């Protein structure tokens, strides 16, 4: 299995003994059932609010060399509300190591490895039918980053009814070879369906027309859809906008 084989090489960057109990509200030393935790949090309707909106990854990276302790604070504050963010756990591990606390950093490395193992258990990523099941589009990008794979191209896979069932990620490996990995963000699709169920028929028709607009640019189609829902009540409009959001591709 691709993820399982890559875990040791890509994630185990340092060894360390168990650290003393963390002072945070969550005791990070108590490792959970990672699959159950991803299911619990990843399928929440407010997932975008707690795990995607204002995600601090770029701020953490900017602080990593000059002020790693601030990066630690950002990471742990975020993880208190979104403990299933595999990338932030790894960045927090790096920040703690840089700030002189590698043993505490090891705890977050174990969380990152545990979450990666939970993702690996969902499939082999070789076909749309055996795609890795992710809780968001962003989680797929995080996996690529942690495996040190460069995204070359992303496309979507549809079933016979035209429904999107997976993302196809063409990636470049460190040795220069390329392959395609498949991710199925089922929880993300479920949030979109839940939001769509609240859309009045006339607005839904405008959205369908927007999707079918003669444009190959997915950003243009997304903008057209968002323009179509402006007549909705603000709470419904916000819900749909959040469900549609995938977040930018994280910088490697």
- Label residue 21 by pLDDT band (50, 70, 90): very low
Rounded CA-CA distance 38/187 in Å is: 10
Same domain flag for 6 and 116: yes
User: What's the domain count of the chain?
Assistant: 3
Same domain flag for 79 and 180: no
Contact 202/243 with Cβ under 8 angstroms? no
Residue 5, strand partner residues: none
User: What are the tens digits of pLDDT across the range 62-71?
Assistant: 999 999 999 9
Same domain flag for 209 and 178: no
Look up the pTM and report it. Answer: 0.74
Q: What range defines the domain where residue 63 resides?
A: 2-120
The whole-number average pLDDT for the span 3-22 is 41
Q: What is the pLDDT of residue 22?
A: 35
User: What are the tens digits of pLDDT across the range 144-156?
Assistant: 999 999 999 999 9
Single residue among 120, 144, 166 that ends a domain in this structure: 120
Q: What is the pLDDT of residue 194?
A: 80
Same domain flag for 72 and 173: no
Same domain flag for 32 and 58: yes
For residue 251, tell me if it sits in a domain.
Answer: no
For residue 89, tell me if it sits in a domain.
Answer: yes
């Amino acid at each position: 299995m691709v993820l399982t084989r890559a875990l040791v090489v890509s994630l185990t960057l340092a060894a360390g003994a168990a650290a003393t109990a963390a002072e945070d509200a969550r005791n990070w030393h108590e490792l959970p059932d990672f699959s159950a935790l991803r299911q619990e949090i990843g399928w929440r309707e407010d997932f975008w609010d707690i795990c995607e909106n204002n995600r601090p990854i770029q701020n953490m990276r900017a602080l990593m060399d000059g002020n790693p302790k601030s990066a630690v604070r950002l990471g742990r504050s975020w993880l208190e509300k979104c403990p299933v963010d595999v990338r932030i756990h790894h960045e927090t591990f790096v920040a703690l190591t840089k700030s002189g606390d590698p043993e505490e950093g090891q705890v977050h490395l174990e969380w990152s490895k545990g979450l990666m193992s939970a993702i690996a258990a969902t499939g082999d990523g070789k076909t749309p039918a055996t795609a890795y099941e992710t809780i968001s589009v962003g989680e797929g990008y995080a996996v690529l980053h942690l495996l040190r794979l460069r995204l070359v191209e992303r496309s979507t896979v549809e079933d016979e009814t035209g429904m999107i069932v997976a993302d196809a990620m063409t990636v470049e490996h460190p040795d220069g070879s390329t392959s395609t990995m498949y991710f199925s963000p089922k929880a993300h699709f479920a949030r979109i369906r839940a939001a769509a169920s609240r859309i009045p028929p006339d607005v839904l028709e405008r959205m369908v027309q927007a999707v079918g607009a003669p444009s190959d640019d997915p950003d243009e189609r997304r903008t057209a859809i968002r323009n179509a829902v402006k007549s909705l009540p603000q709470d419904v409009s916000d819900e749909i906008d959040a469900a549609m959001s995938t977040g930018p591709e994280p910088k490697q």
